[in-house]
Amino acid sequence: MKPLNIINAIELRRPELRKSELKVADYILQQPEKVIHLRIVDLAQQANVSEPTVVRFCRAIGCDGFQGFKLLLAQHVAHSPSYEEFSLHEHDSAREYTIKVFDSAMDTLKKVRDSLDTRSIEAAVDVLQKARRVEFYGFGASSPVAMDAQHKFFRLQIPSAAYSDPHIQAMSAMSLQPGDVVVAISQSGRTQALIDAMALVREAGATLIGLAPSNTPVSMNCDIPLHIDVKEQIETYTPLPSRMAHMAIMDILAVGVSKAKGPAIGEHLLKIHRALQPLRQLDKDK
């Protein structure tokens, strides 16, 4: 059966691809809109591989051949709108920069969605829903993501905490045990204080889940890496799209854990909702 999402299929099969096939995969992921107009000889030349390698790549990701692959890729591109890279100009009106911010967020979320390895999501959900204790570590812009995640998992009856201070992270890590889980959140994947805390977590025997760019120290030192590859712009004030992607991933993990826990957690969340009603202002018109 052919994959419904060809980009996701490529990401899922990456660990099984040969080095030459990975060249094809990387070229396609970088510019899928261009690839749908290329002949097999053109793609082989652009990726610096042979034509038989392109055919083997297509079959490795579940396609019958190059033409079948191109059809699926064209369908994906047609149903996945693309947006211009975020750029702020001096004379932008409120409407213009409002649209740019939303377009940037939607483009980022779409790209991260299509590149996520759902097997890693399943593995993360499995350890989280069984965890004795879950802690979220993040610095800077990742700190609000950690606090939001703690709120989500606390509601799911999982003992949880969020720490953004390196000293408290170190003390926390040294108190962990096997069966505990730490989610390390980093937009750069290279924050030294976070990497140091992760080393203490490993020594304690707890499980590490990482939200960070691929091929960075944070992602490479996790038991379960969730790769979020987003280009950040730092020249002027711009949105931080990776923060939005991180929060979306936390929502996905929370949904997965809620589903794994079954109907009882739904009853618990309904009980919380009812208990909070007296704290909310009543609509006098009702």
Tens of pLDDT along 179-196? 999 999 998 899 999 999
Cβ 60 vs Cβ 16: under 8 Å: yes
Q: Which of 76-90, 128-142, 272-286 has the weakest average pLDDT?
A: 76-90
At residue 1, does pLDDT exceed 80? no
Pairwise CA distance, residues 40 & 73, whole Å: 14
Q: Which of 132-146, 197-211, 229-243 has the weakest average pLDDT?
A: 229-243
Cβ 112 vs Cβ 230: under 8 Å: yes
From the list 141, 135, 250, the residue with the least C-alpha distance to 184 is 135
- Residue scoring higher pLDDT (236 or 161): 161
Q: Which of 47-61, 74-88, 242-256 has the weakest average pLDDT?
A: 74-88
Residue 53 — pLDDT band, cuts 50, 70, 90?
very high
C-alpha to C-alpha distances, 139 to 5, 131, 136, 143, 193, nearest whole angstrom: 34, 23, 10, 5, 9
Q: Within the chain, where are the H helices? A: 6-13, 19-30, 32-35, 40-47, 51-60, 66-78, 94-115, 118-130, 142-155, 166-174, 192-204, 217-220, 241-261, 263-276
Domains along the sequence of the chain with CATH: 6-78 (1.10.10.10), 118-260 (3.40.50.10490)
At residue 8, does pLDDT exceed 80? no
* Interacting residues of 11 by C-beta distance below 8 A, sequence separation 6+: 29, 114, 115, 116, 117
DSSP at 277: G
pLDDT digits (tens, 9 = 90+) for 218-231: 999 999 999 988 76
